[in-house]
Structure 1
Amino acid sequence: MKKSWIAIMILLGLVAYGGYDYVSKSSAKTEEAGNTGETSLEKGTEKGQLAPDFVLHDLQGREVRLSDFQGKTVLINFWATWCPPCRIEMPHMQKFYEDYHSKDIVIIGVNLTPSEKTIDSVQAFVDEQRLTFPIVLDMEGSVTQTYRIAAYPTTYLLDSKGVIREKFRGAIHYEIMKDAVAKIR
């Protein structure tokens, strides 16, 4: 009987230590995230998740990082020149950008470059549409894959902390962008 009590006491001690260790590590992670300004949200491509960061190059070869826009509301628009709904949507994107970029709202147009005939066709489209928001080239398709793009266009709306608040599959217009941004600000 005495050996059973000792075994039970040792077992309770191990369980208590395991609980203490778990709680102290969780607290340390929370404090660490708070000290670095990081969020403890899971990264992913669904609403409520922290959008995965990416680095792509624009048409002039300059590096563009999603994390460079931290603190701003961001629309990430995945598109291609050959896509009819994308072509219809672009004037709305441009108008929205013109009206809202001074209010810390950014649009990043991620071109599905592997699907294009040439990079020159992307530049010609941008010139034709007079697009002034950042256009980046997903040369390898890696960002398109990370964001699980299955339909063109697809637009993600991120809040100022980089959290996905909306995900639109298919073309959207000015009023949809305006209403979606108003809901998160």
Structure 2
Amino acid sequence: MKKIALLLLFVCTAATAQKELPNLNLKSLDNKSVNIKSDFSEKDKVYVYVFWATWCAPCLQELDAMNDIYADWKENLNLEIIAISIDDARTGKRVMPLVNGRAWDYTVLLDTNQDLKRSLSIASPPYTVVVKNGTILFEQAGNTPGSEHEFFEKLKSL
């Protein structure tokens, strides 16, 4: 049943019209400005933007699971995962200690004003956006534990 629901989510999401990634600046953990479109624009590279928050347990589970197999994914695909925290000013101070404690091998960006989140009409985390050549190819809301392998198969098909 879980696989059917996941497949249905993939099919429904893939059927949506493709749109361009917005041209916005976010902050890195070392407080540098990063342009979400131009700084991640290597031709034919797949960028996986994972929207998360420190207070979101499914987000942390998803990012931990992806981190465990990220090296294998990068061996097989020209791929980069960018974890985008949507923590606001109140909870944002928790991001750096959490990331340091998890030792994720991702680029982590901060969307503290939630400008990118709003521009993509994201309701709540976890939310994943797959981009190639500046075009959004796939979006996925939520996380199903253990679905990383199905997600990787979807990435390979793009």
State the TM-score, normalizing by the size of structure 2: 0.77
Residue 25 (structure 2) pairs with residue 55 (structure 1)? yes
Greater percentage in helix? 1
Identity of aligned residues (%): 24
Residue 110 of structure 1: aligned partner: 84
Residue 139 (structure 2) pairs with residue 167 (structure 1)? yes
Output aligned runs, 1:36-185, within 5 Å.
Answer: 47-66=17-36, 67-70=38-41, 71=43, 72-101=45-74, 103-114=77-88, 117-119=91-93, 121-159=94-132, 161-171=133-143, 173-184=147-158
1:116 to 1:79, Cα distance in 2 relative to 1, 3 A: farther
SS at match of 2:128: strand
Residue 34 of structure 1: aligned partner: none
Kept in 1, the 8 Å contact 2:51–2:84? The answer is yes
Query: Which aligned segments of 4 or more residues in structure 1 are displaced greater than 4 angstroms?
Result: none
Per-residue Cα deviation, 1:72-115 (whole angstroms, up to 9, x for no partner): 21011110011111121111221343223454211111101217
Per-residue Cα deviation, 1:105-142 (whole angstroms, up to 9, x for no partner): 111111012175242x1111112211121111112111
Kept in 1, the 8 Å contact 2:54–2:91? The answer is no
Which AA in structure 1 matches 2:28? Answer: D
Kept in 1, the 8 Å contact 2:73–2:152? The answer is no
How many residues are paired up?
137
For 1:47 and 1:92, the matched residues in 2 are separated by: 29
Which AA in structure 2 matches 1:165? Answer: L
1:116 to 1:84, Cα distance in 2 relative to 1, 3 A: farther
For 1:130 and 1:64, the matched residues in 2 are separated by: 21
1:116 to 1:95, Cα distance in 2 relative to 1, 3 A: farther
For 1:93 and 1:83, the matched residues in 2 are separated by: 16
Q: Out of 132-141 and 100-109, give the one that drifted further.
A: 100-109
Kept in 2, the 8 Å contact 1:112–1:138? The answer is yes
For 1:64 and 1:94, the matched residues in 2 are separated by: 22
SS at match of 2:39: helix
For 1:51 and 1:118, the matched residues in 2 are separated by: 24
Greater percentage in strand? 2
1:125 to 1:152, Cα distance in 2 relative to 1, 3 A: same
Structure 1, unaligned runs of 5 or more: 1-45
If asked which structure has higher relative contact order (CA below 8 Å, sep 6+), I would say 2
For 2:141 and 2:90, the matched residues in 1 are separated by: 20
Q: CA RMSD in A?
A: 1.9
